[in-house]
Structure 1
Amino acid sequence: MQKVILMVALFFACIPNVVHAELKQSLVSEAENGDSTAQVNLGNLHYEGTEVPQNFSEALKWFELAAHQGSAAGQLSLGRMYEFGHGVPQNHAEAVKLYELAAGQGDATGQVSLGVMHTEGKGVPQNQVEAVKWFRLAADQGDARGQYNLGLSFYHGHGLAQDHAAAVRWFRLAADQESAMAQFNLGMTYYHGHGVPQNYTEAFKWIQLAADQGHIGGQNNLGHMYDEGKGVPQDYIEAAKWYRIAADQGSVPGQLGLAWLYLQGQGVPQDYDEVFKLYSLAANQGDATAQYNLGYMYDNGEGVSKDPVLAIKWYREAASQGYEKARSRIEVLNN
Structure 2
Amino acid sequence: MFARISKNFPNAAAAALILALAAPVQAASADSPAFRRAMDAYKAGNYSRAVRLIRPLAEQGYAVAQYNLGVAYGNGLGVTQNDQQAAAWYRKAAEQGYADAQYNLGGLYDSGKGVPQNDRQAAAWWRKAAEQGFAPAQSNLGTAYENGQGVAQDDKQAAAWYRKAAEQGYADAQYNLGVMYYNGRGVPQNRTQAAAWWRKVLAQPDTAENARAQAEARAALKLLAP
Please report the TM-score for the alignment, with normalisation by the length of structure 1.
0.57
1:274 aligned partner = 157
Deviation at 1:327, TM superposition (A): 1.2
SS in 1 for 2:24: coil
Aligned to 1:215: 98
Cα deviation for residue 289 of structure 1 reads 0.7
Aligned pair partner of 2:43 in 146, 151, 156: 156
Matched with 1:193 is 76
Three-state SS of the structure 2 residue aligned to 1:218 is helix
Is 2:173 aligned against 1:290?
yes
State the structure with more CA Rg.
1
Determine if contact 1:298/1:311 at 8 Å carries over to the other structure: yes
Q: Please state if 1:147 is matched with 2:29.
A: no
- C-alpha contact (below 8 Å) 2:26/2:63 kept by paired residues: no
Distance 1:280 1:237 in 2: 22
Counterpart of 1:229 in structure 2 is: 112
Contact 2:109–2:122, Cα closer than 8 Å, also in 1:
yes
**1:320 alignment partner, one of 200, 203, 209:** 203
Question: 2:72 touches 2:79 (CA, 8 Å); kept in 1?
Answer: yes
| Distance in 2 between residues matched to 1:257 and 1:229, nearest whole Å | 16
Q: Which has the higher contact order (CA 8 A, sep 6+)?
A: 2
Within 5 Å, give how 1:79-94 maps onto structure 2: none
Instruction: Give CA-to-partner distance per residue, 1:21-63, whole Å, 9 cap, x none.
Output: xxxxxxxxxxxxxxxxxxxxxxxxxxxxxxxxxxxxxxxxxxx
Q: Tell me if structure 1 keeps the 8 A contact 2:145–2:158.
A: yes
SS of the residue 1:233 aligns to:
coil
Residue of structure 2 in register with 1:92 after alignment: none
Following superposition, the deviation at residue 10 of structure 1 comes to 6.7
Distance 1:6 1:218 in 2: 13
1:177 equivalenced with 2:60 (yes/no): yes
Match of 1:299 among 182, 190, 194: 182
What letter corresponds to residue 231 of structure 1 in structure 2? G
RMSD, matched Cα:
1.8
Assess, with a 3 A threshold, how the Cα gap between structure 1 residues 331 and 198 changes in structure 2: closer, same or farther. same
Distance 2:73 2:27 in 1: 30
Residue ranges of structure 1 left out of the alignment (5+ in a row): 12-108, 114-144
**Contact 2:38–2:49 under 8 Å retained in 1:** yes
Is the alpha carbon distance of 1:154 and 1:248 closer, same or farther for their aligned partners in structure 2, counting shifts above 3 Å?
Answer: same
Is the alpha carbon distance of 1:272 and 1:10 closer, same or farther for their aligned partners in structure 2, counting shifts above 3 Å? closer
Q: CA deviation at 1:7?
A: 2.5
Distance 2:95 2:107 in 1: 15
Distance 2:154 2:165 in 1: 17
- 1:8 Cα deviation after fit: 6.9
Structure 2 vs 1, CA of residues 10 and 190 (structure 1 numbering), >3 Å: closer, same or farther?
closer
Contact kept, 8 Å, 1:147 with 1:173, in 2: the verdict is: no
In structure 2, the residue matched to 1:333 is: 224
Structure 1 residue 7 corresponds to structure 2 residue 27? no
> TM-score, normalization: structure 2?
0.84
Where does structure 2 lack aligned partners over 5 or more consecutive residues? 1-14, 207-213
CA contact (8 A) 1:223 1:240 kept: yes
What do residues 162-196 of structure 1 show as CA deviations (whole Å, max 9, x unaligned)? 20111111111211111111110011111011111
- Cα distance in 1, alignment partners of residues 25 and 148 from structure 2: 41
